């Protein structure tokens, strides 16, 4: 919730995207999060992703709930409409917004508290509807704004800053999302922009619900010895299952990208995600295999990252609802009004 | 036993067991009166249950056009052994009770001031029909036949109604006609037909329909151009969405694609339902939800959000009996306060109060115009009585010239022309700022936030900036007073006693005023149709020495709202309350007013 205006100065030599816009055009207000916060790195990755995809900023809508994570939509794309909703309820607002105008790009930013505790229900049901949006969880395992309580993603045995040890099992958003039919499940790390940006781009282009769980250490309340969401712990225990590259519709696949064991998945708009496998047997289009692999690695104490599962074939909410192609908010009233004759016909059954 | 003929002025009540399929029989009976031109009301007192609990259907025929609950029963059809004792006791002296004489009734239960008529309904139907389900269903049609004979119902009307219902299924038509005839013939042969009070042809129902308020509220939303619905099932509001879906899918269908211009999304709960409405409205679609008390409780946080961030939203609240789960299938007007000030902090919401299904149609449409004009939630408060019972209403008309009032929305051209857009500037000095829709123009972007914001839409924790915004919201409230529907007033300078009421009390208040007038007590009447209260309400309060506030809740919520929001004094307002879950009767209002007047004389 920045109230410090960020000066918009674009160096004339800055790279431009297809719209002729520079990275500056995708930036937002000055962050008011703690210095070194993982969330700010995710914001920077989102700026990069939107810039590289050449999305007109005013055709994006940013949505969030409440918490440190949910403040971040103010820090990118100041030329996009933003909706900082109530705690844990961003998914329903995004559902209604998307129902009204299916043509915008919806980017939701939430946190582990906002998604996995207070907002768990709405998160699950947005997944079940296959709502077409990117849903980023900035996951630090802790309630930052209220100063350090455990969240539902805190691991058993993880230590709070004041020494308390978490006893309750965590909710893993990736496992949960896989189990309820999510069509795009990924995990990344705020400290690895090279890894995160292609995932964000693929998630934005995915037709359906794209969930990216981004481990984002809280430098103030959860970056100490004994925390399992610290920079140090994440770097040591991170197990990249699969690296994702995003290839826009018109671009050829270069040989370098295709080297090794590569899986290519074509997205709805013709763009592709190239998945370089680390685990040789990993198949990101096999939900059961993904579930099994995640469970195994989790038992071994590893955090698996990458595009863990993708299914481009499932209908999204609008297809299920059989809504028209024209956004509902643009249908002129003349076509919505059934008129007196129709009203008379209805009333004839009530006599 | 002396009786006076009371043609077209009686109440028939049918006591039955839920799940036995009596609804179509009861509708047949009610519609028969309506088709005979007799003003009629059908009230369904049903349990929160699918099968087995007691259910009653009450039909009041009234040549004088009084269609509120009569509070008396002239003919009881006692089909439910569980409630026989209570049903017997409820019949007015001089009335009739019909029971199924297939089984002996309890001789201990007898009354010598009514006439008890036994009809072997089960035996006759068992002999005539072979399938078990048919035997149960047809008993109901058979008692309609009995009543038709006793009340002298026009047989042509019955025949055409059966034809309309079952014409497409000849076998069903035959069964129904046969069952009807069984009852009819038995009554003709065994009883002295007709009774001293009969149904006689009139001409008081042309230009009217028999319809429930949930259907009309849905139609209002449909005609107003609603395209996005987020909802969660809850009695008694579910049929609002059922009706909306039924008509929208058909009447909004694009002939070329076969797809309908509507998205009806069943939410996971009421929190999500209102969240969807806000998301859609923020994005420029007309959007609504319908719910009942518990749903309103859940929606509070988002309602406060919408108030503060100034997002239009329409909520139809079909009130039921509270508190808590309460009695979901009984009626009340007990959400007035919960809706007026829903959510924490300084919040206040525009409320609309239809009195019947006809007004539910018009006000549900008006709600969208007001919500968008004022950029705020508008809650339409109906109740179970309006929403789920069949009311006689004037034909609904839709103004061919109607154009939705979308309020102050910046177009792409307007945005292009200005230097910079600020979301919460009061440029017109009416407290209503201009808004922009996502995706329209790069200059339109702003950040919608429930946290403190200044007039430019930016985050603030500054004392003055914050207060400026909430003060401007208060100014908007003053503007709302000039835009909401005016109350309905019937006032004569001769009277110093007033009645103020709301919503579904209207029919009972009108009947009560006639009865009071007949007894020499003249009253004036104001029915509020909206909150905030405008000048007309204050004027009415000022013009009377004593004002009875008639409403259907225990805590006198409308009275409390009047005390808070007008200059009226405590002593002037006297409550007349009804809150047992059944619709209010004229008699209870007359009694309440008479008791207060008697106290005044005694003092």
Asked whether residue A10 is domain-assigned, the answer is no
Residue A68: DSSP 8-state? H
Q: Note whether B71 and B164 are same-domain residues.
A: yes
Cα angle for residues A280, A282, A288 (degrees, 5° grid) = 150
- Residue of B245, B287, B399, B445 best to disrupt the A interface, most CBs of A under 10 A: B445
**Structural domain ending residue among the three candidates B394, B426, B441:** B394
Closest C-alpha to A305, from A264, A335, A275, A330: A275
What phi and psi, each to the nearest 5 degrees, are found at residue B559?
A: -60, -45
User: Which residues of chain A lie closer than 8 angstroms to B344, CB-CB?
Assistant: none
What phi and psi, each to the nearest 5 degrees, are found at residue B201?
A: -55, 135
Is pLDDT larger for residue A240 or for residue A55?
A: A55
- CA dist., res. B448 & res. B548, Å (int): 44
Q: Residue B253, CB half-sphere, CA atoms under 13 Å: how many?
A: 11
What is the pLDDT averaged over residues B444-465? 97
pLDDT of B17 > 90? The answer is: yes
**CB-closest option in B279, B439, B440 to A92:** B279
Per the CB < 8 Å rule, is B272 touching A323?
Answer: no
Residue A7 has a pLDDT of 64
User: Which residues of chain A lie closer than 8 angstroms to B267, CB-CB?
Assistant: 92, 125
For A131, name the nearest residue in chain B, comparing CA atoms only: B265
The residue segments making up the domain with residue B92 are 9-190
Per the CB < 8 Å rule, is A99 touching B279?
Answer: yes
**CB-closest option in A83, A95, A343 to B282:** A83
From the number of C-beta atoms within 10 Å of its C-beta (0-12, 13-18, 19+), residue B322 rates as buried
Per the CB < 8 Å rule, is A73 touching B447?
Answer: yes
What is the pLDDT averaged over residues B169-180? 95
- Residue of B239, B391, B438 best to disrupt the A interface, most CBs of A under 10 A: B438
Would you place residue A280 in the very low, low, confident or very high pLDDT band (cuts 50, 70, 90)? low
Residue A203 has a pLDDT of 97
User: Which residues of chain A lie closer than 8 angstroms to B223, CB-CB?
Assistant: 337-338, 343
| Domain count across chain A | 1
Residue B133 has a pLDDT of 92
Q: Note whether B520 and B375 are same-domain residues.
A: no
**CB-closest option in A1, A91, A323 to B259:** A323
pLDDT of B5 > 70? The answer is: no
Tokens representing residue A187 in the block: 């995990």
Residue B227: DSSP 8-state? -
User: Which residues of chain A lie closer than 8 angstroms to B403, CB-CB?
Assistant: 333
Tokens representing residue B446 in the block: 């702003």
Asked whether residue A18 is domain-assigned, the answer is no
Q: Say whether B558 sits in a helix, a strand or coil.
A: helix
**CB-closest option in A61, A89, A342 to B438:** A61
Residues 2-41 of B with CB under 8 A from A: 34-35
Asked whether residue B538 is domain-assigned, the answer is yes
| Domain count across chain B | 4
What is the pLDDT averaged over residues B217-238? 98
Per the CB < 8 Å rule, is B269 touching A121?
Answer: yes
We report the CATH number of the domain holding residue B382 as 3.40.50.970
Residue B2 has a pLDDT of 38
Asked whether residue A64 is domain-assigned, the answer is yes
Task: Give the gap in angstroms from C-alpha A148 to the nearest C-alpha of chain B.
Answer: 22
pLDDT digits (tens, 9 = 90+) for A49-88: 999 999 999 999 999 999 999 999 999 999 999 999 999 9
Per the CB < 8 Å rule, is B230 touching A78?
Answer: no
Per the CB < 8 Å rule, is B302 touching A323?
Answer: no
Mean pLDDT score of chain A, rounded to an integer?
Answer: 91
Residue B287's beta-bridge partner residues? Answer: B228
Q: Residue B53, CB half-sphere, CA atoms under 13 Å: how many?
A: 7
Asked whether residue A172 is domain-assigned, the answer is yes
Question: Please, which residues have CB within 8 angstroms of residue B230's CB and are 6 or more apart in sequence?
Answer: A92, A95, A96, B265, B267, B272, B273, B274, B275, B276, B277, B280, B287, B289
pLDDT of B273 > 50? The answer is: yes
User: Which residues of chain A lie closer than 8 angstroms to B273, CB-CB?
Assistant: 92
Q: Note whether B463 and B593 are same-domain residues.
A: no
Asked whether residue A12 is domain-assigned, the answer is no
- CA dist., res. B199 & res. B38, Å (int): 8
CB B300 within 8 A of CB A115: no
Residues 459-478 of B with CB under 8 A from A: 459-460
**CB-closest option in A103, A122, A351 to B209:** A351
Mean pLDDT score of chain B, rounded to an integer?
Answer: 96
For B403, name the nearest residue in chain A, comparing CA atoms only: A333
Per the CB < 8 Å rule, is B225 touching A350?
Answer: no
User: Which residues of chain B lie closer than 8 angstroms to A145, CB-CB?
Assistant: none
Q: State how far the alpha carbon of B255 is from the alpha carbons of A176, A287, A345, B269, in Å.
A: 41, 39, 19, 33
Residue A1 has a pLDDT of 43
CB A72 within 8 A of CB A62: no
Would you place residue A257 in the very low, low, confident or very high pLDDT band (cuts 50, 70, 90)? very low
Helices (H), B389-524: 412-417, 463-483, 506-518
**Cβ of residue B410 closer than 8 Å to a chain A Cβ:** no
Q: State how far the alpha carbon of B291 is from the alpha carbons of B3, B133, B239, B277, B387, in Å.
A: 46, 34, 10, 13, 11
Residue B234 has a pLDDT of 98
Question: Please, which residues have CB within 8 angstroms of residue A186's CB and are 6 or more apart in sequence?
Answer: A174, A199, A202, A203, A210, A211, A212, A213, A244, A305, A306, A307, A308
Task: Report the share of chain B in percent with pLDDT over 90.
Answer: 94
Residue A253 has a pLDDT of 63
Per the CB < 8 Å rule, is A122 touching B254?
Answer: no
Q: Note whether B585 and B494 are same-domain residues.
A: yes
Task: Give the gap in angstroms from C-alpha B257 to the nearest C-alpha of chain A.
Answer: 8
**Cβ of residue B446 closer than 8 Å to a chain A Cβ:** yes
Question: Please, which residues have CB within 8 angstroms of residue B167's CB and are 6 or more apart in sequence?
Answer: B173
- What is B299-332 written as a DSSP string? HHHHHHHHHHHT--EEEEEEE-B-STT-BTTS--
pLDDT digits (tens, 9 = 90+) for A146-180: 888 999 999 999 988 888 999 999 999 999 999 99
Would you place residue B327 in the very low, low, confident or very high pLDDT band (cuts 50, 70, 90)? very high
Q: Note whether B539 and B504 are same-domain residues.
A: yes
We report the CATH number of the domain holding residue B596 as 3.40.50.920
Q: Note whether B255 and B351 are same-domain residues.
A: yes
- CA dist., res. A171 & res. A116, Å (int): 7
**Cβ of residue B188 closer than 8 Å to a chain A Cβ:** no
**CB-closest option in B228, B268, B403 to A333:** B403
What is the pLDDT averaged over residues A238-253? 81
Q: Note whether B416 and B361 are same-domain residues.
A: no
pLDDT of A243 > 60? The answer is: yes
Asked whether residue B202 is domain-assigned, the answer is no
Q: Note whether B23 and B167 are same-domain residues.
A: yes
Tally of CB atoms within 10 A around B109: 12
Q: Note whether B36 and B153 are same-domain residues.
A: yes
For B365, name the nearest residue in chain A, comparing CA atoms only: A337
What is the pLDDT averaged over residues B565-575? 97
Asked whether residue B32 is domain-assigned, the answer is yes
Asked whether residue B171 is domain-assigned, the answer is yes
We report the CATH number of the domain holding residue B37 as 3.40.920.10
- Residue of A88, A93, A109, A180 best to disrupt the B interface, most CBs of B under 10 A: A93
CB B286 within 8 A of CB B250: no
pLDDT of A259 > 70? The answer is: no
Tokens representing residue A167 in the block: 């006893």
pLDDT of B151 > 60? The answer is: yes
Task: Give the gap in angstroms from C-alpha A100 to the nearest C-alpha of chain B.
Answer: 5
pLDDT of B603 > 70? The answer is: no
**Structural domain ending residue among the three candidates B137, B161, B190:** B190
Asked whether residue B36 is domain-assigned, the answer is yes
**Cβ of residue B398 closer than 8 Å to a chain A Cβ:** yes
- CA dist., res. B603 & res. B595, Å (int): 12
Tokens representing residue B230 in the block: 């987020």
User: Which residues of chain A lie closer than 8 angstroms to B313, CB-CB?
Assistant: none
What phi and psi, each to the nearest 5 degrees, are found at residue A307?
A: -85, 100
Q: Note whether B58 and B184 are same-domain residues.
A: yes
We report the CATH number of the domain holding residue A243 as 3.40.50.970
- CA dist., res. B274 & res. B287, Å (int): 10
Task: Report the share of chain B in percent with pLDDT over 70.
Answer: 99
Per the CB < 8 Å rule, is A58 touching B222?
Answer: no
Beta strands in B404-545, from DSSP E residues, in sequence order:
447-449, 488-490, 497-502, 524-528, 530-531
- CA dist., res. B424 & res. B565, Å (int): 26
Residues 196-215 of B with CB under 8 A from A: 208-211, 215
3-state secondary structure B118-137: EECHHHHHHHHCCCHHHHHH
For A326, name the nearest residue in chain B, comparing CA atoms only: B261
Asked whether residue B128 is domain-assigned, the answer is yes
- CA dist., res. B205 & res. B212, Å (int): 16
Q: State how far the alpha carbon of B161 is from the alpha carbons of B28, B147, B186, B367, B390, in Å.
A: 7, 16, 21, 36, 17
Would you place residue B405 in the very low, low, confident or very high pLDDT band (cuts 50, 70, 90)? very high
With tokens 């690895």, the residue in question is A192
Task: Give the gap in angstroms from C-alpha B448 to the nearest C-alpha of chain A.
Answer: 5
- CA dist., res. B141 & res. B166, Å (int): 13
**CB-closest option in B222, B305, B447 to A86:** B305
Q: Residue B469, CB half-sphere, CA atoms under 13 Å: how many?
A: 26
Question: Any idea which of A184-193, A229-238, B358-367, B398-407 has the lowest mean pLDDT?
Answer: A229-238
Per the CB < 8 Å rule, is B402 touching A337?
Answer: yes
**CB-closest option in B259, B439, B448 to A104:** B439
Asked whether residue B405 is domain-assigned, the answer is no
Instruction: Please provide the size of chain A in residues.
Output: 351
User: Which residues of chain A lie closer than 8 angstroms to B261, CB-CB?
Assistant: 323-324, 328, 331, 335-336
**Cβ of residue B186 closer than 8 Å to a chain A Cβ:** no
Tokens representing residue B366 in the block: 């008006």
Q: How far apart are the first and last CA of chain B?
A: 41
Q: Note whether B158 and B223 are same-domain residues.
A: no
User: Which residues of chain A lie closer than 8 angstroms to B358, CB-CB?
Assistant: none
The residue segments making up the domain with residue A47 are 23-350
Asked whether residue B125 is domain-assigned, the answer is yes
pLDDT digits (tens, 9 = 90+) for A122-146: 999 999 999 999 999 999 988 888 8
User: Which residues of chain B lie closer than 8 angstroms to A333, CB-CB?
Assistant: 225, 403-404
Q: Say whether B490 sits in a helix, a strand or coil.
A: strand
Q: Note whether B369 and B441 are same-domain residues.
A: no
Per the CB < 8 Å rule, is B211 touching A336?
Answer: no
**CB-closest option in A57, A59, A335 to B261:** A335
**Structural domain ending residue among the three candidates B457, B483, B509:** B483
pLDDT digits (tens, 9 = 90+) for B31-44: 999 999 999 999 99
């Amino acid at each position: 919730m920045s109230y410090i205006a960020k000066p918009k100065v674009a160096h004339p030599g800055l790279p431009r995207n297809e719209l002729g816009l520079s990275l500056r055009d995708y930036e937002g207000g000055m962050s008011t999060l703690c210095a070194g916060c993982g969330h700010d790195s995710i914001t920077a990755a989102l700026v990069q992703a939107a810039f590289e995809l050449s999305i007109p900023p005013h055709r994006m809508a940013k949505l969030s709930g409440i918490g440190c994570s949910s403040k971040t939509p103010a820090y990118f794309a100041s030329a996009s409409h933003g909706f900082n909703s109530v705690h844990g309820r961003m998914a329903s607002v995004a559902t209604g917004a998307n129902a009204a105008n299916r043509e915008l790009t919806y980017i939701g930013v939430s946190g582990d508290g906002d998604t996995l505790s207070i907002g768990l229900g709405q998160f699950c049901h947005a997944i079940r509807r296959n709502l077409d949006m990117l849903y980023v969880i900035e996951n630090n395992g802790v309630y930052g704004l209220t100063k350090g309580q455990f969240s539902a993603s805190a691991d058993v045995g993880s230590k709070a800053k004041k020494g308390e040890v978490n006893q309750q099992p965590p909710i893993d958003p990736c496992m949960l999302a896989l189990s309820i039919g999510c069509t795009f499940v990924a995990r990344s790390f705020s400290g690895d922009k090279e890894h995160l940006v292609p995932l964000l781009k693929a998630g934005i282009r995915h037709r359906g619900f794209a969930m990216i769980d981004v481990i984002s250490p809280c430098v103030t309340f959860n970056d100490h010895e004994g925390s399992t969401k610290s920079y140090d712990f994440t770097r040591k225990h991170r197990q990249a299952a699969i690296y994702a590259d995003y290839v826009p519709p018109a671009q050829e696949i270069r040989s370098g990208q295709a080297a090794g064991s590569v899986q290519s998945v074509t997205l709805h708009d013709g763009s592709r995600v190239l998945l370089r496998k680390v685990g040789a047997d990993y198949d990101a289009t096999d939900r059961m295999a993904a579930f099994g692999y995640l469970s195994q690695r989790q038992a071994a104490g590893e955090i698996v990252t990458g595009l863990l599962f993708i299914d481009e074939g499932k209908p999204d909410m609008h297809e299920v609802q059989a809504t028209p192609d024209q956004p509902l908010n643009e249908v002129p009233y003349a076509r919505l009004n059934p008129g007196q004759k129709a009203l008379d016909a209805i009333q004839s059954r009530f006599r | 036993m002396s009786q006076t003929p009371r043609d077209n002025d009686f109440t028939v009540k049918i006591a039955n067991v839920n799940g036995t399929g009596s609804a179509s029989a009861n509708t047949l009976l009610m519609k028969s009166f309506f088709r005979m031109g007799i003003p009629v009301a059908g009230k369904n007192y049903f349990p929160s249950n699918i099968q087995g609990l007691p259910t009653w259907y009450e039909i009041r025929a009234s040549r004088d056009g009084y269609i509120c609950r009569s509070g008396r029963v002239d003919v009881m059809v006692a089909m439910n052994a569980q409630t026989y004792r209570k049903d017997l006791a409820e019949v007015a002296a001089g009335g009739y009770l019909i029971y199924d004489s297939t089984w002996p009734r309890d001789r201990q239960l007898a009354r010598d001031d009514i006439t008890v008529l036994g009809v072997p309904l089960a035996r006759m139907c068992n002999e005539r029909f072979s399938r078990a389900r048919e035997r149960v269903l047809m008993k109901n049609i058979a008692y309609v036949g009995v009543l038709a004979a006793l009340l002298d119902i026009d047989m042509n009307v019955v025949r055409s109604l059966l034809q309309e219902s079952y014409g497409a299924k000849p076998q069903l038509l035959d069964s129904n006609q046969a069952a009807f005839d069984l009852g009819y013939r038995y009554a003709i042969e065994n009883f002295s037909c007709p009774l001293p009070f009969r149904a006689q042809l009139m001409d008081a129902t042309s230009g009217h329909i028999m319809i429930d308020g949930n259907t009309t509220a849905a139609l209002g939303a449909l005609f107003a151009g609603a395209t996005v619905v987020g909802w969660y099932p809850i009695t008694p509001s579910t049929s609002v969405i059922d009706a909306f879906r039924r008509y929208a899918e058909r009447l909004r269908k694009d002939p070329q694609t076969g797809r309908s211009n509507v998205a009806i999304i069943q939410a996971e709960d009421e929190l999500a339902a209102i969240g969807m409405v806000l998301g859609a409205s923020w994005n420029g679609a007309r959007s609504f939800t319908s719910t009942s008390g518990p749903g309103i409780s859940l929606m509070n946080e988002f309602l406060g959000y919408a108030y503060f961030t100034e997002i239009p939203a329409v909520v139809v609240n079909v009130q039921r009996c509270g508190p808590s789960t309460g009695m979901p299938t009984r009626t009340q007007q007990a959400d007035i306060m919960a809706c007026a000030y829903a959510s924490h902090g300084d919040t206040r919401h525009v409320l609309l109060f239809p009195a019947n299904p006809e007004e539910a149609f018009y006000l549900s449409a008006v709600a969208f115009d007001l919500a968008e004009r004022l950029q705020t939630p508008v809650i339409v408060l109906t109740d179970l009585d309006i929403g789920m019972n069949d009311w006689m209403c004037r034909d609904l008309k839709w103004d061919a010239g109607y154009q939705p009032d979308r309020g102050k929305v910046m177009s792409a051209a307007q945005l292009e022309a200005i230097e910079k857009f600020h979301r919460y500037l009061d440029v017109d000095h009416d407290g209503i700022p201009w808004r922009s829709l996502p995706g329209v123009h790069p200059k339109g972007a702003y950040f919608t936030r429930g946290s403190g914001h200044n007039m430019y839409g930016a985050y603030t924790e500054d004392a003055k900036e914050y207060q400026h915004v909430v003060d401007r919201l208060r100014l908007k409230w003053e503007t709302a007073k000039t835009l909401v529907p005016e109350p309905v007033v019937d006032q004569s300078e001769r009277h110093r006693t007033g009645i103020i009421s709301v919503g579904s009390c209207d029919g009972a208040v009108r009947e009560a005023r006639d009865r009071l007038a007949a007894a020499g007590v003249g009253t004036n009447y104001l029915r509020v149709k909206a909150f905030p209260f405008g000048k007309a309400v204050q004027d009415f309060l000022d013009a009377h020495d004593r004002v009875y506030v008639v409403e259907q809740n225990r805590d006198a919520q409308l009275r409390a709202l009047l005390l808070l929001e007008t200059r009226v004094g405590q002593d002037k307002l006297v409550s007349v309350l009804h809150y047992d879950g059944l619709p209010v009767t004229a008699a209870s209002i007359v009694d309440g007013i008479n008791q207060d007047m008697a106290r005044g004389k005694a003092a």
